[in-house]
Amino acid sequence: MYNEAIKEGGCAVVTGAASGVGRVAARRFAEAGLDVILADLPGPQLEEAKEEVLASATGDRKVLAVPTDVTQDADISALAEIAFDAGPVAALMNNAGIGLPTSAWTEFENWRRLFDVNFLGVLRGVHAFVPRMIKANRPAVVVNTGSKQGITTPPGNPAYNVSKAGLKAFTEALAHELRNTEGARITAHLLIPGFVHTGMTGAADKPPAAWTAEQTVEFFISSMNQGDFYILCPDNDVSREIDEKRIVWAAGDIIENRPALSRWHPDYAEAFATHMRPS
């Protein structure tokens, strides 16, 4: 479906496009022959990203930078109007996301902000774009950027985990509804990055364990081209086998009635180590 969407041309809209995975994805969409709209908070970084993507565009494709705050309904509505005025939307990538410190009973405003960006920002994008994408009756894709923390929910930042867990459940529902809606020629995909060196990692130099944004986008495009819904990215330290075993253990907490987050419980350290041994 991705190849069909690209072949028919049109526009790719990427939020969180000023840096990291969003910026690289915007460049790749331009290289593939689509018009591209980069949406992010206003500033020089967004303009620099636009120039970089424009330099990668094939032919006379259009590249626009649209200052957008995904927490604002009016900004998302305006973004949709600009996109559909430019032509049919072939790809919507809801990629904008933030990380802020939280605990279960502190930093309430950080909880609110994380949800507004990481979950409601995506929901706003889907509501503003998808009904019109369905009416266009052409192949298209919706990509939502999730996180492994929304699947295994490790301790340390519960608001981020919950926002991404909600996004996982929402994107699963979106995929189901799209494939059961007459005339919807759209597939939904959940991008689940591994450890990626971006602005959110806070390190100037790439840690050895991390993938680059370029590696992550290459993996994402390859996986989407073969029809994967769950685009579970490895990195230089964590293989798919390790991810799978961690996910199975997390599900086992419910099935076996273990304590919550038993992977980090001292009474289960030995059992988890045995579970993680290579097959």
Indicate which residues carry an active-site annotation. 160
| Alpha helices for the chain (secondary structure H) | 2-7, 20-31, 44-56, 73-86, 108-114, 120-135, 149-152, 158-179, 213-225, 240-255, 269-275
Which DSSP state fits 180?
Answer: T
CA–CA separation, 238 and 102 (whole Å): 25
CB of 61 within 8 A of CB of 34?
Answer: yes
CB of 171 within 8 A of CB of 188?
Answer: yes
Question: Beta strands 11-15 and 63-67: pairing type?
Answer: unpaired
CA–CA separation, 49 and 30 (whole Å): 12
SS3 at position 229: coil
SS3 at position 75: helix
Type of residue found at 14: V
- Using CA atoms in the order 213, 215, 216, 219, what is the torsion angle rounded to 10 degrees? 160
